[in-house]
């Protein structure tokens, strides 16, 4: 069979080349590039005591945690870009064990957190919340005092409400001075659920708080604590002396506990 | 997509085209399958950045994603025309972008503003591809021997060693021009793809290849001739029903 004559024409060759057509880059290209350049984060869906969460991580650490909802990945990706100014892409590989452990409620100590988008004050508040052990709670005012801004109780509250890494930074362990659990990014009842999953007893704490008790003293050691210092079991010990204020405890000759620094 | 008016195609009406294999009709036998004009659709969706070089100089991290989105089809397409597989092409494009980012990271703003971005990116992609070819020499060589450009070789179809199996044959039919381009020596392949597939002006092709414009022109000319020869050879060696399908 004779070849079409036109093929021998150089012009026809260049024409055919021009029509060879464009190809589209695979959708995996841009995410891989941006991730390798450190300009995009990765996220996983991980089970937690509150159900599945989206957990994003970048080169500087964990960057955003939100509740996963059916079909909610695009909402998450949009919120991520809006807050952090860079894209986030679903992970190809499973989450690191340390991340999964932390989300499940075990220690988050090994993790790094990317708090670059926050003010110094906000990040100081969140880092302070990290010091509260599981199974214990602290009042908002305690956070404010501990970071040297005792007057900024409300501001500390809103910094906690804006926590980009709920669960991993345990803002749920910060409660109202009167023992009520207070607000939470995922709602008050989620906060109770979470506290209970850590062994805390929000009901017992509320009951104590509503009776006016703010501190508990130890008769034998002559020191006084925030009610949940050392765990909630201290609420039930018989040798505890209730105080309505720090000054009352001090006047009775009790010294502030060095662990929970009740009158810091 | 069918263009029966084109002088490059000889269409027989004896046989019905197999549309399941070639969704776009007969014409697609010559052209690579894939959505055309995607670039324009993309540009319409995204607001254009007037001067990407300036934007990169001002805010590299904030603008680099834009560079990737704007150039990913070009760099991937270029790499895909140079090498054999989509996987390799993706890796080449990926490495090229990451290298570009690291380079930009170290450049002072004036240098970024003064870059001829498009040529510079193609240049990086070409370097990455060349390095890979060097590492995967066996693959590179096998492509050249499989092609029909070397006139001293005996016709591949007559050599049982080189005769492709039926599946490979089918796949090649769909993209034979692209395959013939890939079989060209690299000194012809890169300029041809840049000039005619990617549509760069000759001066920019020369810049990418770091050659004087005259050299680039001559390579283009010789490349077109080499391709013309291999194209007519590949047609004459094919069995008639395959040619006319």
Q: What is the dihedral of CA A105, A110, A114, A118, to 10 degrees?
A: 70
Of A215, A18, A75, whose CA–CA distance to B194 is shortest?
A18
DSSP letter (8 states) at residue A261:
-
Q: How many interchain CB pairs under 8 A, A with B?
A: 135
Please state, in angstroms and rounded to a whole number, the distance separating the CA atoms of residues A169 and A186: 14
Q: Which residues of chain B neighbour A10 with C-beta distances below 8 Å?
A: 224-225, 228
Interface residue of B43, B101, B202 to substitute, partner A, most A CBs within 10 Å: B101
DSSP letter (8 states) at residue B33:
P
B92 within 8 A of B129, measured Cβ to Cβ: yes
Q: Which two tokens stand for residue B40?
A: 């324009």
User: Residue A235: its pLDDT value, please?
Assistant: 64
- Partner residue opposite A17 with nearest CB, options B73, B97, B196: B196
Mapped onto helix, strand or coil, the DSSP state of residue B164 is: coil
CB-neighbour burial class of residue B135 (10 A; exposed 0-12, middle 13-18, buried 19+): exposed
Question: pLDDT tens digit string along B22-56?
Answer: 343 333 333 333 343 443 344 445 566 779 999 99
Please state, in angstroms and rounded to a whole number, the distance separating the CA atoms of residues A185 and A200: 19
The kind and range of the H/E element at B151 are none
The kind and range of the H/E element at B46 are none
User: Residue B23: its pLDDT value, please?
Assistant: 40
Is B98 a residue whose pLDDT tops 60? yes
- For the sheet with A61-67, list strands across it: A61-67, A51-58, A41-48, A88-90
Least confident of B62-66, B136-140, B170-174: B170-174
**Consecutive 10-residue runs of chain A (264 residues): their mean pLDDT?**
53 84 89 95 94 94 93 91 93 91 81 93 95 92 95 95 94 93 92 92 90 89 87 72 92 91 76
Interface residue of B81, B177, B189 to substitute, partner A, most A CBs within 10 Å: B177
User: Residue B48: its pLDDT value, please?
Assistant: 64
Q: What angle do CA B11, B17, B22 make, to 5 degrees?
A: 105
Taking CA–CA distances from B237, the nearest residue in chain A reads A1
CA B217 to chain centre: 18
């Amino acid at each position: 069979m004779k070849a079409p004559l036109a093929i021998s024409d150089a012009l026809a060759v260049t024409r055919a080349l021009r029509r060879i057509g464009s190809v589209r880059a695979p959708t995996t290209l841009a995410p891989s590039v941006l991730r390798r350049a450190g300009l995009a984060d990765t996220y996983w869906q991980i089970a937690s005591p509150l159900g599945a969460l989206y957990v994003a991580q970048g080169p500087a650490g964990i960057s955003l945690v939100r509740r996963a909802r059916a079909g909610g990945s695009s909402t998450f990706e949009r919120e991520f870009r809006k807050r952090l100014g860079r894209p986030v892409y679903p992970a190809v590989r499973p989450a690191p064990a340390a991340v999964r452990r932390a989300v499940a409620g075990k220690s988050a100590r090994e993790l790094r957190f990317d708090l670059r988008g926050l003010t110094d004050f906000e990040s100081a508040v969140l880092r302070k919340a990290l010091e509260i052990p599981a199974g214990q709670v602290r009042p908002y005012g305690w956070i404010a005092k501990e970071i040297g801004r005792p007057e900024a109780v409300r501001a500390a509250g809103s910094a906690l409400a804006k926590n980009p890494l709920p669960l991993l930074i345990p803002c749920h362990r910060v409660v109202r001075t009167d023992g009520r659990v207070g607000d939470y990014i995922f709602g008050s009842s989620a906060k109770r659920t979470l506290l209970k999953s850590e062994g805390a007893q929000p009901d017992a704490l509320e009951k104590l708080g509503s009776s006016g008790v703010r501190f508990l003293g130890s008769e034998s050691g002559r020191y006084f604590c925030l009610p949940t210092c050392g765990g909630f079991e201290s609420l039930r010990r018989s040798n505890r002396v209730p105080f309505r204020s720090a000054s009352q405890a001090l006047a009775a000759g009790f010294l502030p506990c060095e662990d929970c620094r009740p009158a810091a | 997509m069918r263009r029966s008016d084109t002088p490059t195609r000889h269409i027989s009406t004896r046989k019905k085209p197999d549309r399941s294999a070639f969704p776009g009709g007969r014409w697609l036998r010559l052209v690579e399958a894939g959505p055309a004009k995607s670039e324009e659709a993309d540009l319409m969706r995204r607001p254009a950045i007037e001067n990407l070089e300036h934007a990169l100089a001002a805010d590299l991290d904030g603008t680099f994603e834009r560079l990737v989105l704007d150039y990913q089809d070009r760099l991937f397409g270029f790499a895909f025309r140079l090498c054999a597989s989509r996987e390799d092409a993706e890796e080449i494009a990926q490495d090229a972008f990451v290298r570009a980012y690291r380079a930009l990271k170290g450049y002072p703003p004036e240098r970024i503003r003064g870059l001829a971005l498009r040529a510079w990116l193609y240049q990086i992609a070409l370097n990455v591809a060349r390095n890979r070819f060097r590492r995967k020499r066996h693959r590179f060589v096998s492509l050249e021997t499989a092609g029909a450009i070397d006139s001293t070789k005996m016709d591949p179809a007559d050599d049982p060693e080189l005769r492709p199996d039926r599946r490979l044959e089918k796949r090649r039919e769909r993209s034979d021009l692209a395959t013939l381009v890939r079989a060209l020596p690299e000194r012809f392949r890169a300029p041809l793809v840049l000039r005619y597939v990617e549509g760069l002006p000759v001066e920019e092709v020369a810049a990418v290849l770091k050659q004087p414009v005259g050299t680039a022109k001559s390579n283009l000319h010789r490349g077109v001739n080499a391709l013309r020869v291999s194209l007519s050879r590949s047609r004459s060696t094919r069995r008639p029903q395959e040619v006319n399908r």
